[in-house]
Amino acid sequence: MATLASTGRTVEGTRFFVVMTLVMAVTIIAGFSFHLLMGRSSFAEPATVHLHGVLFMGWVGLTMAQALSIASGNVTLHRQLGRAAYIAIPAMMVAGTAVMLHSAQARGGPFFFAMNEFVISNAMGLYCFGGLALWALRVRRHRGWHRRLMLVAMSILTGPGLGRIIPAPLLIPYAWPISIALTWIFPLIGMWVDWRRHGWVHPAWWWGMGINVGVFALSMVIAYSSWGYAFTEWVVAGTPGAGRPMAPFLPPGFTM
């Protein structure tokens, strides 16, 4: 348990948030590393993709540094690093959108996801992360809200890592909702720990997860609406991505 340098008080539950942050970071790194080792990813990508990777892995490093700094009682460093997040979050949303567009137009996105899910639900999840993370920064003086909202925001980013670990092709046509639902495990563990420790669940969990799940549900409604199909077709029109089916599929000759 960490001790605040300014007050000498013990920060209750800090160890839990440090552990969860590290577990989520390892999940993200493991997913991308696994695909690289399996030859399913390469560095032969445009600069946009590399910039995206640097920004998002940089965020993973920043989040781990934030967790460890507060756990060690270094509040000054924690606050200084927090200022960088105000720049990193908008940059990540821009870079994430650019990479999503590149993937959709270059290859129609991952074949085991419906293209409309990948274009619309993926983007809305990214913006949900940004909104929750910025909210967490705005309420940083309210530690209970800050750390829980940031954990929910970080859990959203585990989706790409988990999506690379699970056998997504075998989960067609439900690979996308399954990969998203798995990210909810981390905040749900936090809610369970609160309930076990205090006998009640902090409202930050309800707000954070309510927004997270609500945005996902709304994104799926939009993705499968006539507008969602039309928007997806517009995004990939005239590009190689337009050549794949809208629905998830297995490429000819595909093997795991």
Q: What is the pLDDT of residues 174-212, one digit of tens each?
A: 999 999 999 999 999 999 999 999 999 999 999 999 999
**Cis previous bond, 173, omega within 30:** yes
Strand locations in 48-156 (E):
none
Contacts of 233 (CB under 8 A, 6+ apart): 242, 246
Mean pLDDT over 135-156 rounds to: 94
Cβ–Cβ < 8 Å for 152, 20? no
- pLDDT for position 253: 73
Domain residue ranges of the chain, discontinuous segments joined by +: 11-236
> Among 60, 57, 204, 216, which residue's Cα sits nearest to residue 135?
204
> Is the distance from CB of 128 to CB of 149 less than 8 angstroms?
no
Average pLDDT of the segment spanning 67-86: 85
Q: How would residue 35 be classed by pLDDT, with cut points 50, 70 and 90?
A: low
Q: How far is CA 108 from the centre of its chain?
A: 20
CA distance 244 to 20: 38
Give the per-residue pLDDT at 33. 83
**For the ranges 12-16, 63-67, 196-200, 205-209, the one whose mean pLDDT is highest:** 205-209
- Its pTM stands at 0.89
* Mean pLDDT value across the chain: 89
pLDDT given at position 9:
36
Q: Which residue has the tokens 């940059």?
A: 91
Count of positions (residues) in the chain: 256
